[in-house]
Amino acid sequence: MVARVAVLAGSAFVVSVFAPLVKANDAHVYIVAKSVSTSMEARRIITQNKWTESRMRQADFALVVVRSELQDPLRGSYDNICQLEEDADGQLNIAGSNFIVYVFQLDDDLRPTEVRHVAYPAT
């Protein structure tokens, strides 16, 4: 089941939105963030949630951060992680007015399926 989250007033709310998805503070996260600003935002989220950046095969889930004018620019599922990374790379990532942060579950074959996403202004 994919949970949709409305546009939020600030990025601080991201922690409380994603925290219930992973109970342990030591969750291992694979990051997909293709620009300087999205990478910084991903690392901020990981730090605030006390998660650990990990390699793809060791990750509990993928955290994807893009910038876009859209509220939901990525698809809900992909055939493989490479397709997700290509789609993320195709977003406005430098000039988009919103951060859109996704959590994707990775199955044993590394097929990503969206669990939740949230959008908020990139200030």
Q: In what order do the strands lie in the sheet with 52-53?
A: 3-4, 112-121, 98-106, 61-68, 28-32, 52-53
In angstroms, what CA-CA distances link 89 with 50, 68, 82, 85, 93? 26, 11, 10, 6, 7
- For residue range 15-54, what is the model confidence (pLDDT) as tens digits? 556 655 555 567 899 999 999 999 999 999 999 888 999 9
Please name the residue that has the structure tokens 């991903």: 42
Per residue in 54-109, pLDDT tens?
A: 999 999 899 999 999 998 999 999 999 999 999 999 998 888 999 999 999 999 99
Longest alpha-carbon distance in the chain: 36
The pTM of this model reads 0.84
In whole angstroms, what separates CA 107 from the centre of its chain? 16
